[in-house]
Structure 1
Amino acid sequence: MNDVRSELVSDPVSQPGSVAAASSDLAELDAAIPHCTACPRLVEWRERVAREKRAAFRDQGYWGRPVPGFGPHDASIAVVGLAPAAHGANRTGRMFTGDRSGEVLYRALYDVGLASHPRSESLGDDLTLRSTRITAPVHCAPPANKPTPGERDTCGSWLTRELELLRPTLRVVVVLGAFGWQSLLPIPDSAGWRVPRPRPKFGHDAHVRLPATDDGADLHLLGCYHVSQRNTQTGLLTPEMLRGVLHHAKELAGLGDS
């Protein structure tokens, strides 16, 4: 195990399952994720985007690597999306940062008291999240925003370990979109919660309580339409709807008003 950990920062990670399992805390996990090279199609795409860039960002350096989760290591709420955007998080290195989806999400988090600022600009800003961590089932930007099932499953070991490490404090997971919902459902059984059978279906405002299988607290899953530009521009997801789900998450997590 120590041999694996010593390679987290310096060497490429071709077997995320073993490295994720060997991470003893979220700091180690977050340090390992950017070095993952397990999915050749995603590696080629994220690096090509980082070289070619979008014209509006021509003078900026791109992150061009897998993007780790963002937020405190004792979070009681997790927000799970889909994957980094090619010119958003793949450029900035922070989940939901640098694109319009992120603008909607961070504004809502700020409005309900879960973010210190209404905008997430870059890794160098002073934004902090309150009791909330943002992550995804796939950590690399995928072509056309569509990971394959194999890529989702390969990357799933990172999310599994992330939830295991958050187990002592995690009370609520807000899942943005059906892809994240389906990606997440196999995980809680290994992290201390029991998923009902048949598996619950995704829907906006869906709420499922997962009973604990250990001495810890139960986990609440909340569904929310994804904050994609298409959903927000068409009105499928409004700021009020998003704030409503986040307020519900705060209540279930036992967080007071702020």
Structure 2
Amino acid sequence: MESAAVETTRGPLGLKGHLAGIIDVLGAHYGARPWQSRGRPVDVLIETVLSQNTSDVNSHRAFRALLDRFGSLEGVAAADVTDIEETIRLAGLSRVKSVRIKQILERLRAEHGSLNLEFLLNMDVSAARHYLTSLPGVGPKTASCVLVFSLGVPVFPVDTHVYRVSKRLGLISRNTSLEQAEAELEAMIEPTDRYRTHLHLIEHGRLVCRARKPSCHQCVLAEICPSAFTFDGSEATAYSPRREAQ
């Protein structure tokens, strides 16, 4: 059964019109977000693996620590897994992540002779995602992050902020899984709007539509949000996944 939030978006303009309004308002409020590459695909891949279940600040520090200690990801690939674990401890789950990072880098070298993932650009999106998610510890969100943030492929990653805000806005139903959310949101958002909308939803989720005690009185979407001013302070956990999608 669909949520009441989704039902309220089915007015004269329907869900498509509701989404268009959201994109326009967020764009006007947060400004343009021209695409910029965040680095080599393998760099984005490893940093995104590090970001699972931790903050961007901690994952970035852990990634920099790897490069400072081993010189490059090629150096990380040759390092002992216990040394990798020690280096990335501040990112959390270091034992699991160190093994996954080592396995990913070793597999790339074994299969391709290098850590270059540019070959993904020669695949269709489905095949590229399939390859990436075949790597240890890489789920749909991580795969999409590599494609959009490194290679500029117009996909739509769904992290905890995008997931929460999209549910509250009635873009997806409350029982939609993270993987379903990515497929549904990507299908409804035009390719040219996906990158900036992803960033706008994250920023909005961090600054205004927080998991606990969202600031509805400061929200530029309050007039069109079916969930505005409906929170009692305890509801938020129902919208937040227990773990970040990989």
Larger RCO (CA within 8 A; separation ≥ 6) = 2
Higher strand fraction (1 or 2)? 1
Query: Which of 1 and 2 has greater Rg?
Result: 2
TM-score by length of 1: 0.24
Higher helix fraction (1 or 2)? 2
TM-score by length of 2: 0.25
